[in-house]
Chains A and B, each alone.
Chain A
Amino acid sequence: QSVLTQPPSASETPGQTVTFSCSGSTSNIGTNTVNWYQHLPGTAPKLLIYDNNQRRSGVPDRFSGSKSGTSASLAISGLQSEDEADYYCATWDDSLNGWLFGGGTRLTVL
């Protein structure tokens, strides 16, 4: 069971906006920046958002990240079928002295 909590699944129709949450604690999200990764099965995970809200070069501005306290969020607006994937949050944990990944949220575009 991951220390970073993400809902296991989400679904939304094309064109709409979906938001994923990532809940942690003071030793991880509360202290360090959060990254978001997109993972399609059978492919390499891709960095979408770093430093809480910075889009990696080449990532559409439909993707946005935010952080407040010990929680972080990823929003995808104007949903497209190609956005169907697993989304993971990640951050460094000062107590564990290591990286943490959330359990991932599987997005279904209806």
Chain B
Amino acid sequence: QITLKESGPTLVKPTQTLTLTCTFSGMSLSTSEVAVGWIRQPPGKALEWLALIYWDDDKHYSPSLKSRLTITKDTAKNQVVLLMANMDPVDTATYYCARSIIDDYGDPRWFDPWGQGTLVTVSS
């Protein structure tokens, strides 16, 4: 059974850098055709994709947030870390991590399963 769990601060101040950790089990990011992504959902709004890291350390970022995001992996610890710089109240959201499957062409196909999410509030 594959599980993912997000962890990090529940409250950050504006301008601070958010550090979120996704810890997973039942899978390995050293296995080819596997990736882990981050998706968020502001209160009352839609899901928004943030970043994706492949087993081979290839990375993709949301163009609108690329300058603020850094995604890294620690294969030995089964963890993926997302850094988001210069946090603002509009970044208040539930942040999810999820496994993605990569096909033979190197294209991500879907997110499954997802973690339960962690609510991050940005406020002074």
- A residues adjacent to B (C-beta < 8 A): 2, 32-33, 35, 37, 39, 43-47, 50-51, 56, 88, 90, 92, 96-104
Q: Are A43 and B46 in contact (CB under 8 A)?
A: no
Q: Are B114 and A99 in contact (CB under 8 A)?
A: no
A-contacting 9-mer, from B8-16, B26-34, B56-64, B77-85: B56-64
Given A43-B116, A44-B96, A44-B114, do A32 and B46 touch, yes or no (CB 8 Å)?
A: no
Interface of B is mostly: strand
Q: Inside 8 A of A46's CB, which chain B residues have their CB?
A: 112-114
Q: Are A104 and B109 in contact (CB under 8 A)?
A: no
Q: Are B116 and A44 in contact (CB under 8 A)?
A: yes
Q: A39-B47, A47-B111 are in contact. List 15 more A-B contacts (CB 8 A).
A: A2-B46, A32-B107, A37-B111, A44-B96, A44-B117, A50-B109, A50-B112, A51-B109, A90-B47, A90-B49, A92-B107, A98-B61, A98-B62, A98-B63, A101-B39
- Which of under 10, 10 to 19, 20 to 34, or 35 or more describes the interface residues of B? 20 to 34
Which chain B residues in 61-114 approach chain A with CB under 8 Å? 61-63, 96, 98, 107-114
Q: Mark B43-59, 1 if CB is under 8 A from A, else 0.
A: 00011110010000000
11 A-B pairs (CB sep. < 8 Å):
A35-B111, A44-B96, A45-B47, A47-B111, A51-B109, A56-B112, A88-B46, A90-B49, A90-B111, A96-B63, A101-B47
Q: How far is the CB of B88 from chain A (nearest CB, A)?
A: 19
Q: How far is the CB of A90 from chain B (nearest CB, A)?
A: 8
Q: Inside 8 A of B48's CB, which chain A residues have their CB?
A: 101
Q: Inside 8 A of A90's CB, which chain B residues have their CB?
A: 47, 49, 110-111
Instruction: Give Cα distance in the complex from A47 to B46, angstroms.
Output: 16
Instruction: Give Cα distance in the complex from A88 to B96, angstroms.
Output: 15
Given A43-B116, A45-B96, A46-B114, do A99 and B109 touch, yes or no (CB 8 Å)?
A: no
Q: Inside 8 A of A50's CB, which chain B residues have their CB?
A: 109-110, 112
